[in-house]
Amino acid sequence: MANSFEEDVVDAPFEDEPKKSVGESILMATAASLFFIAWGVYVNWAYGFGAVIQVGITQGLISFISTFVSAEVLRRMYFALKRVGANGALTVPLGLAIINGSVFCAHFVAGTPEIWMTMMPGAIISVFFCSGYTYRLRLARIKLEQ
């Protein structure tokens, strides 16, 4: 297995698309989950033990799954846009809408008392995540084209 993202191009879904390491996604998802569990518990502490447990579980699952899946969705979206001749930078706003819309819906269904405050750090971080990861995909694509 290759040591870097740019070198890891074996078994990609399309030949113009670099393969993403699952281990990297698991590491990012675990870190995000731990951070957002702590934030959700902090923001909802005043609502009692039951709410804190509910929010912690909801926030942890949402954070892990959304971070893991988001990386894959962004990667596939970026290369799909490039294949049809669209600007890969469209991945950023589309990714933000998908990520934050999904998180909002999950918290709404779960009954999180302070949805916007619970989501705020993740919404801010998702801007950097989508932008940075899209840029990384762009660099990987440039390297593949050389």
**In the chain, where the domains are located:** 37-145
pLDDT of residue 3: 46
Task: State residue 2's pLDDT score.
Answer: 45
Pick out the chain residues at pLDDT < 50.
1-13
Residue 138: predicted pLDDT:
85
What pLDDT score was predicted for residue 12?
46
Contacts 24+ apart (CB under 8 A), 63-67: 63/29, 63/32, 63/33, 63/35, 63/36, 63/37, 63/122, 64/29, 64/30, 64/32, 64/33, 65/29, 66/32, 66/99, 66/102, 66/103, 67/25, 67/28, 67/29, 67/32, 67/33, 67/129
Q: What pLDDT is recorded for position 136?
A: 82
